[in-house]
Amino acid sequence: MKYFLPLTLLALSGCATADETPYSPVGQFQYGAMGHDPFWMVAIGDDQIVLTMGPPGGRADGELTSTSYPRVLPQVTDGVRRWESGEGTQVIAIEARTAECTTGGRRFPDRVTVSLSGRMLKGCGGEELTESRG
């Protein structure tokens, strides 16, 4: 009987998994951007574009709502990447211009504008810039 508890704990520890991959609402993540007032983030993956928005006031700790759009390839004109997807009143357009941008104390390579059915959201996008120390 005294061996039963250690064996049970050992068996249960084998069932535990440590998922170390960061959350991504899309498969094969390609591009991401975020902003505030209200909090928003967009993730562009292999088959969809997902826009996640928070409540008014720029906070990300309230209820978040996500909307998915079909993935499209970006159009590139004069160095500006533009994705446009959806139909009818549910159209999203994402425009990324190369120009350093800072949000929440973090630096990114792109300034991003998301147009959503007449509403404009501004923020930053691309891979976070880190200073190289050398």
pTM here is 0.73
The per-residue pLDDT for 104 is 82
The per-residue pLDDT for 83 is 94
The per-residue pLDDT for 63 is 84
* Rounded-to-integer distance, Cα 36 and Cα 41, Å: 9
pLDDT along the chain (134 residues), means of 10: 39 46 66 89 91 77 86 92 88 94 92 91 94 55
The residue ranges of DSSP E strands in the chain, in sequence order, are 31-35, 40-44, 48-53, 65-70, 75-77, 80-87, 90-103, 106-116, 119-125
Q: Is 96 exposed, middle or buried (0-12, 13-18, 19+ CB in 10 A)?
A: buried
State the CB neighbour count (10 A cutoff) for residue 24: 12
The per-residue pLDDT for 57 is 66
